[in-house]
Structure 1
Amino acid sequence: MEFPLHDYVAGARVATDLVTTSPTVRGPAGDGLPSPEALAAFLADHDLRLDAPPPTATDLFQVQLLRREARGIIETETADQAVAGCAVLMRRAALGPVLRRDAAAGVDGRWRWHVPTAPGAPLADELAAFLAAGLAGVVRALGHGRFRDCAAPGCRGVFADTSRTGRRRFCRPELCGNRVKVANHRARQAVR
């Protein structure tokens, strides 16, 4: 696997989405990654093409552990702690950055930094490097304050806010945000 350093948003998005698959966040709905097939679907949904073969039960277990590590980085109290956590994840599979022309722009394309992962690295280690680059990019470009707890009552989710305005409030806007909107609407209707 090789991923561009300039697109930290993709890594941060995958980190947030991975964290929200946790039973801690999903509650009664259970684990969002209950099987290797569910993990394969998660990777496909995020357009991640890792060098590793299709996920196994061992890969699933390792990614579930990685999910805790990603949550730990988002929950850090300081930028230094977050960056240190990202460095640990990067060391699992990332090799030194390389400079390559942007293939999408053709021969005259801009030069961009890319990070390759070690050949034969386990799936969870490749994914760890990708998530770490994304989360470290959030700290560098947007600041540690973009790591937040979900504002929905009762939700234990956390997320990296990579929105342009920096006003995201929910780990899963389509679920947590909608629940809050419905509750607020019902409260307004009850007052009438």
Structure 2
Amino acid sequence: MSFTYDTQVALATAAALVNTARDDVDVLGTMDGLDAFLEEQRFTGSRTRAESELQAVRALRRELEVLWFAAEDDVVERVNAILRRTSALPQLVRHDEWDWHLHATTPEAPLADRMATEAAMALADVVRGHELDRLGACAAPDCDGVVLDLSRNRSKRFCDTGNCANRTHVKAYRARRAGTA
């Protein structure tokens, strides 16, 4: 299945958001951390920069992590709840360097609502395409990050939070070398 570009970006942003709390490090521990995350993800729209906004995004992170590993019926129920809660009203928009894509909230909606709605709309596409198996956990034994596999052959096993793939491959290589020495 091939997802539209905005769906891929929303899914990648959702995975990146879930992965902001890994290995006892919370990237969203401060407002500066949230600012950096939003800039890295190129997230637009209004901001209050209030502590409540930061807490709402952190709560969304937990909500999306639960969604990432939920069964299909539970994903559907939770996605629908997000869309109802945020009063989603999908509309085609074009702005900045983006061509036509869907927004389901206004740019003035609360940040966490905009982020939740984009993730929910993307997850709705995942469910409709029967592609929930593209959401998974990092294969590195020392990582609890999530993985979004958009590869054609469904071969992505490691998260994008650091160097899990490289670290795992080096460890395996060294173990093989130690066995032959």
State TM-score, norm by structure 1: 0.79
Among 13, 23, 26, the residue aligned to 1:27: 23
Residue of structure 2 equivalent to 1:59: 53
Which range moves more in the overlay, 35-44 or 136-145?
136-145
- Residue 45 of structure 1: how far off its partner (Å): 0.5
- If asked which structure has higher relative contact order (CA below 8 Å, sep 6+), I would say 1
Deviation at 1:163, TM superposition (A): 2.4
Contact kept in structure 2, 1:66 and 1:124, CA below 8 Å: yes
**Counterpart residue identity of residue 46, structure 1:** Q
The aligned residue for residue 75 of structure 1 is: 69
Cα gap change, 1:6 to 1:176, in 2 (>3 Å) = closer
Q: Which residue matches 2:132? A: 144
Q: Displacement of 1:104 after TM fit?
A: 7.2
Q: How does 1:109-128 map to 2 (within 5 A)?
A: 114-118=102-106, 120-128=108-116
2:157 aligned residue (164, 169, 172):
169
Task: Give the structure-2-normalised TM-score.
Answer: 0.84
Which residues of structure 2 form unaligned runs of 5+? none
The separation in 2 between residues aligned to 1:46 and 1:61, in whole angstroms, is: 18
Structure 1 gap segments, 5+ residues each: none
Q: Secondary structure at the match of 1:169?
A: coil
- Identical amino acids, percent of aligned pairs: 34
How big is the shift at 1:100?
5.8
After superposition, residues 10-49 of structure 1 pair within 5 angstroms as 10-22=9-21, 26-28=22-24, 30-49=25-44
Residue identity opposite 1:11 in structure 2: A
CA distance in 1, matches of 2:103, 2:79: 14
Query: Greater CA deviation, 136-145 or 9-18?
Result: 136-145
Superposed CA offset, 1:102-158 (max 9, x none): 9979xxx9xx56233146421111111111112222233361111212111132222
